[in-house]
Structure 1
Amino acid sequence: MLSAEDMPTPGSAMIGFIPFPPHRASFYREAGYWAGQPLDEILRSSARRWPDHPAVIDDAEHFTYAELDQRADAAAAGLLSLGIGAGDCVLVQLPNSCQFAVALFGLLRTGALPVLCLPGHRDAELAHFLDVCDATAIIVGTDPGGFDYRAMAERLLQRPNRLRHVIVDGEAGSHISWSQVCAGEGQPPRLRPDSSGPAVLLVSGGTTGAPKLIPRTHDDYVYNATASAALCRLTSDDVYLVALPAGHNFPLACPGLLGAMSAGATVVFGRDPSPEAAFATIARHGVTVTALVPALARLWAQACEWEEQIPSTLRVLQVGGAKLAADDARHIRSVLTPGLQQVFGMAEGLLNYTRLDDPPELIDNTQGRPLAEDDELRIVDEAGDEVPEGEPGELLVRGPYTINGYFRAEAENQRSFTLDGFYRSGDTVRRMANGYLEVTGRVKDVILRGGETVSALDLESHLLTHPRISAAAAVGLPDPYLGEKICAAVVFRGAPVGMTELNEHLDARGVAVHCRPDMVAPMPALPTTAVGKIDKRSIVAQLQP
């Protein structure tokens, strides 16, 4: 008979979660993809194997694996004393720091469900997440750049929702201090969550509207992280730099923080990804692996021409989040590291990697092949029929670490998943005879700005609330640094609105910083197609030189 400590911990977080179908779940277990291991076991296991090895480092503090394990227990005890536990959802919006790791594992040990928000999210996105998941608490940090996350959390607290606790890593004011929570006493109960249930909620980039919540299970996310770590040949001798926001799937589990920890590697948190700051961090800690979006990778490569201190220890540089041009790939390999790895994936699941021993032509010209042998891919035309090999089409996928539905998003799930469980990625790709993919475009109306996926529809809905805007279309224009910049093609009522006033309007609406236009293009009218839809291709053609 199971003791109370070993009992599974179902909770309200299971409501609105779509599990893997039983026959597929059984197959993934029997095939060895799923080990029935809680996500939290990554830290517990590493603390047993490498107790005195450096686990996490930032500019202010550092913990060994044993120390991080102890701090996660203390945080869990403190959270439980506030009544935060199994079935609760908790928004986490912390900067890259050791405390991000403490909060993540502390929450996992309470049975709560961390909702991993990004630093650029503002009132609009966080209010939406609260409405979807009924979060009872939010953990925020402070921003040396000046944005007041505590004030934003206070505004959220005034809304009609279940939010009860605002926890602040920094000056807490009238709210709860994170350091006080982390001083919790006593050993938290050893929970045994259902490994087929959700472990964390990631945030989608937004494709057809507001961002969705992505439920990653213990089973699929442990595989996601550990298989990625094995593919990247991570060992306890490696040092992984978290250069992108830690709540992103890419630096979190591909292999990221979790994969690095599963191998006993040291994780360094960086808050400034600029070449000057990042290169100094790489040299100081002997960083061997990191992950960047193409815009940053290009900038790092260019900076090698003027920075006195350039990376010399990088073994693997992963680039993903958008397609990397072949010329850029060749330049990066020549000046930063020959160990370039292209990554094409999605927070919803599927990951494609070029392999470390692939020939240069594959690394430069493709976005890799699937992580798992049992990733099932379909590449289809507009009618849903599979296209011939080598022809472009929309990528559909299901597999041992791809979700079966967004969290509490019934309407979106009907659009995004086929009846037999394939996720419609919205990306168009070409599959080669060797199984490698080349990304050719996308179907969904999104803009890929600096590695962030921005929903054109969501931005347009915000723009249209301005009293002097009668029509708006958000489009992506090529940009050598961002990949795409956001252009708002706008029909004004009367005199045009300047960028300053427009951004003040979007700021007042709580729109995320990375979702705001980089430029505004006044137009007398928006062009339309034969069926009356806004013709965005025509807009882009007009705006490009």
Structure 2
Amino acid sequence: MSPMLDGCTPWPEEFVDRYWAAGHWRGTTLDSLLRGGALEHGPRTALVHDGTRLTYAALNRRVDRMAAGFRLRGIRPGGRVVVQLPNVPEFVVTVFALMRVGAVPVLCPLAHRAPEVSRLVQVTEAVGYVGPATYQGFDHTAMAADIAAQGPFLRRVFTHEPPGTASPYGGMAADAAGCHYFPLSSIDAAPERALVQGADQVAFLLLSGAATAGPRLVPRTHNDYAYQVQAAAELVSLTENDVYLAAQPAESNLALGCPGILGTLSVGGTVVLVEDPEPAACLAAIEREGVTLTSVVPAQARLWLDASATVRADLSTLRLVQIGGAPPDRATAERIGSAWDCRPQQVFGVAEGLLTLTRPADPDQCVLGTQGRPLSPDDEIRIVDADGKDVPEGEPGELLARGPYTVRGYYRAPDRTARSFTTGGYLRTGATARRTPDHNLVVTGRIEDDAPRRADREGPTGL
């Protein structure tokens, strides 16, 4: 095994051996999923965004050329690069290109501003930033320049311009702080020999959804995330004939890998990216592209349902709508099935790993009233009281988890890791839950972040 990125907590060797022996970890890198897709599905459509359509072969070529361009501009293996882009093809190309270089994308929500982005740069010692030049009236380039001026890490800023927009920097510019600026469209060079990467290496850093004073960065490895997206794709019977609508932010775990963008690309399906989350735009995209699967949060689902009564859009291709982010009310889940004649699927997940999902074939009582069962047969679940003791079956308590795609600690945050993980490696998800007699989970609420626990006892595994 090659050493993991400094600042990460590795899985203990006994668990590494267990996950390999079970076939969960296969030495698959996320980049190899795209390479394999280009070979097997070359002429098929991989990405759609407005008028842009990219085949698997074209997407792989763009990733190859951007990766070479990043190398020429000083992005090295192991270097961290903050990626803050909307749902555009450049997001997918950039993330794959950085992974192909061996760099580590730090996936940052588009809504974050200087305080949050600056903190990400400082914690990760990010050498690069990729973002829009401006977006919805906000000047991301100026923000990046201010962060670079604070030093000493950020030295490469790559800005995405909408098609037809001239970059104010031409081909290249540098400021007084020594930070260089490039239009993202100029990051293009003849492909070089591919870097051989270990699947145990960190593929990217996700931001935890836990409310906290500073960023909690989750180091997801190729092994664990490839397992997650492929297992989730299998669970929903995803095939090359499916079309996934990414209506949630692309950097979110829900849209990226449950199975989301990466799961769809792993089977040769088509990903439709939409920047506008408004119902009219999304419903029109479903009709236009024949979308079969999408992911929404409860509030978004209600808006779409209300709009579908007046927006004339044929949604008959939809077969599955995932509801994540928070448990929906039962009425919303029921409306999805009746209004759109498709199956709702409840999804509970955290950036740190654990996914629980209802199955498409589950009875309505389960689909409408629970958050389903863990994705993996090797997910270990405990529900505990404030003293860390397992609660009686059916009683609510704090949900703890460990498994083949749940990390063992945060990036460069030993104190937070100590508070958020038990000594036995269980993640304290921060959610409260109870287990039904048929072993489904019902998420009942949240525990205040960093709330003190009176004990850290390890007991028997639940499921």
TM-score under structure 2 length normalisation: 0.92
Q: Is 1:114 the counterpart of 2:105 in the alignment? A: yes
- Offset of 1:211 from its aligned partner? 2.2
- Offset of 1:160 from its aligned partner? 2.2
- Corresponding residue SS for 1:301: helix
Residue identity opposite 1:42 in structure 2: L
2:186 to 180, 183, 186: 180
- Corresponding residue SS for 1:158: helix
Q: Which residue in 2 is equivalent to 1:355?
A: 359
| Larger mean Cα displacement after TM superposition, 70-79 or 52-61 | 52-61
Q: Is 1:158 the counterpart of 2:164 in the alignment? A: no
- Whole-Å Cα distance in 2 between the matches of residues 417 and 188 of structure 1? 41
Describe how 1:67-216 pairs up with structure 2 within 5 A.
Answer: 67-170=58-161, 171=167, 173=169, 174=173, 175-181=181-187, 183-185=188-190, 187-216=191-220
Describe how 1:340-379 pairs up with structure 2 within 5 A.
Answer: 340-379=344-383
- Offset of 1:408 from its aligned partner? 0.3
- Whole-Å Cα distance in 1 between the matches of residues 150 and 316 of structure 2? 50
Q: Which residue in 2 is equivalent to 1:433?
A: 437
Q: CA RMSD in A?
A: 1.5
Runs of 4+ with deviation above 6 angstroms: none
- Whole-Å Cα distance in 2 between the matches of residues 154 and 60 of structure 1? 32
Give the conservation status (yes or no) of the 8 Å contact 1:54–1:266: yes
| Larger mean Cα displacement after TM superposition, 291-300 or 59-68 | 59-68
Mark the CA change 1:229 to 1:418 in structure 2 (over 3 Å): closer, same or farther: same
1:402 to 390, 400, 406: 406
- Corresponding residue SS for 1:394: strand
- Corresponding residue SS for 2:383: strand
Between structure 1 and structure 2, the one with the greater Rg is 1
- Whole-Å Cα distance in 2 between the matches of residues 287 and 315 of structure 1? 9
Gap runs ≥5 in structure 1: 1-7, 447-455, 457-545
The alignment covers a number of residue pairs equal to 436
Q: What are the superposed Cα offsets for residues 486-539 of structure 1, whole Å, 9 maximum, x if unpaired?
A: xxxxxxxxxxxxxxxxxxxxxxxxxxxxxxxxxxxxxxxxxxxxxxxxxxxxxx
Residue identity opposite 1:184 in structure 2: A
Q: Is 1:218 the counterpart of 2:222 in the alignment? A: yes
- Corresponding residue SS for 1:40: helix
Residue identity opposite 1:393 in structure 2: G
Describe how 1:298-447 pairs up with structure 2 within 5 A.
Answer: 298-445=302-449
- Whole-Å Cα distance in 2 between the matches of residues 117 and 161 of structure 1? 20
- Offset of 1:172 from its aligned partner? 5.0
Q: What are the superposed Cα offsets for residues 19-41 of structure 1, whole Å, 9 maximum, x if unpaired?
A: 11111001000000000111111
- Whole-Å Cα distance in 2 between the matches of residues 337 and 104 of structure 1? 35
Give the conservation status (yes or no) of the 8 Å contact 1:19–1:197: no
| Larger mean Cα displacement after TM superposition, 48-57 or 300-309 | 300-309
Q: What are the superposed Cα offsets for residues 91-143 of structure 1, whole Å, 9 maximum, x if unpaired?
A: 00111011111101100110000001111111111111111110000001245
- Whole-Å Cα distance in 1 between the matches of residues 370 and 446 of structure 2? 16
Q: What are the superposed Cα offsets for residues 363-414 of structure 1, whole Å, 9 maximum, x if unpaired?
A: 1000111000010001000010000111000001000000000000011011
Give the conservation status (yes or no) of the 8 Å contact 1:316–1:337: no
- Whole-Å Cα distance in 2 between the matches of residues 262 and 293 of structure 1? 24
- Corresponding residue SS for 1:318: strand
Mark the CA change 1:206 to 1:430 in structure 2 (over 3 Å): closer, same or farther: closer
- Whole-Å Cα distance in 2 between the matches of residues 337 and 108 of structure 1? 39
Gap runs ≥5 in structure 2: 162-166, 174-180, 452-463
1:20 to 11, 21, 35: 11
**Matched residues, percent identical?**
44
Residue identity opposite 2:279 in structure 1: P
Mark the CA change 1:204 to 1:406 in structure 2 (over 3 Å): closer, same or farther: same
